[in-house]
Structure 1
Amino acid sequence: MILSILYLISNFTLGWLFFLSMLDKLMNKSAHLSSFEKYILIPKWGTKIAYISVILFELYLTIIFTSTKLTSTSIFIFIVGISIFNIAILVNLLNGKVNMSCGCGGVLESETLNFKMIIRNICFIFFAIFILTLKNNFTFISFSVLQKGVLIFISIKLILIFIILKELKVIKLSKQKLSRYLFLN
């Protein structure tokens, strides 16, 4: 039962993360197109194609994870997509371009590039492999619609906790900058 709950919460959480990321890209199209251009890894004419491809990729992941229809093929597509993002981040970090938005969107958005993003993405890959391993190696109990609703609610709460922790970090950094400014003047 615990593995069944863990499996569903993991799926729903990843599904919601990619949904929020996709939604942010759709709502802030010009900002995301601009961040795609700053990566300078594709020609300017390919920026819109990349933007649409990323949105479709995130839509696919949202559907796959929230419907719990993971297969080896879907995990392979996930790994290839996340690896492409990691390569783009790594190339820019190695070229010294850190003061730009990552273009991740949603909860995962960051105003600066850093190696933590690569580690986070690698963790997502291992997390997805873990979910697939659970699915392939264990028999799960079925849940009613109400029980799945509760698990979706828990997944959303996990994302909200992540958002709150991220904002608290921003507040802490802002307080540190303010105190340094006040003491220097």
Structure 2
Amino acid sequence: MQKYTIILAIILFTCFTITILINVIRGNRNIDCGCGGILGDQQISWKIIIRNLLFVCALSFLSAVDISYSSVDSLILGNEETFDSYSFLVIFLAISTLFIFSTYTNLLKIKNKLLEFK
């Protein structure tokens, strides 16, 4: 089941990337990417195309390897260890840090937009 999910994600990212690529080549860069949700106002660019291609490469790698691994450490080291609490804590803290940083940068953008209206 995970293989099908990864393959579907590869197909979707490829379609999104091709669509963005067509518009960037045509010069239609005033299109909102939609990447940041409601608060995001990022325009399509070559940076987004490269990011999506990196996602496609990572997903392709995941579809090629045995995905019975339960942690990133066991995937890198080649061990089939169980998913321990330390690995969960590291992944949770990394994801939390990314969300906090993203929220902080979005709040700064909102603050700057509100200051422009004064």
Same fold? TM cut 0.5: yes
CA RMSD in angstroms, aligned pairs only = 3.3
Letter in 1 for 2:53: I
1:70 maps to which residue?
Answer: 2
**Structure 2 segments unaligned to the other structure (5+ residues):** 69-74, 113-118
1:112 aligns to 2:46 (yes or no): no
Contact 1:93–1:113 (Cα < 8 Å) also in 2: yes
Count of matched residue positions in the alignment of Structure 1 and Structure 2: 98
1:157 maps to which residue?
Answer: 97
What is the TM-score with the length of structure 2 in the denominator?
0.61
Letter in 1 for 2:11: V
- Identity of counterpart residues, as a percentage? 24
How far off is 1:126 after superposition? 1.4
C-alpha distance 110-134 of structure 1, shift in aligned 2 (>3 A): farther
Higher relative contact order (CA 8 A, sep 6+): 1
**Structure 1 segments unaligned to the other structure (5+ residues):** 1-68, 175-185
Contact 1:99–1:113 (Cα < 8 Å) also in 2: yes
More helix by share: 1
| Aligned counterpart for 1:90 among listed residues 4, 17, 21 | 21
Matches within 5 A, 1:137-176: 138-144=78-84, 146-147=85-86, 149-150=88-89, 151-161=91-101, 163=102, 167=105
After superposing the two structures, state which structure 1 stretch, 128-137 or 152-161, moved more: 128-137
Matches within 5 A, 1:28-107: 70-71=2-3, 73-106=4-37
What is the TM-score with the length of structure 1 in the denominator?
0.42
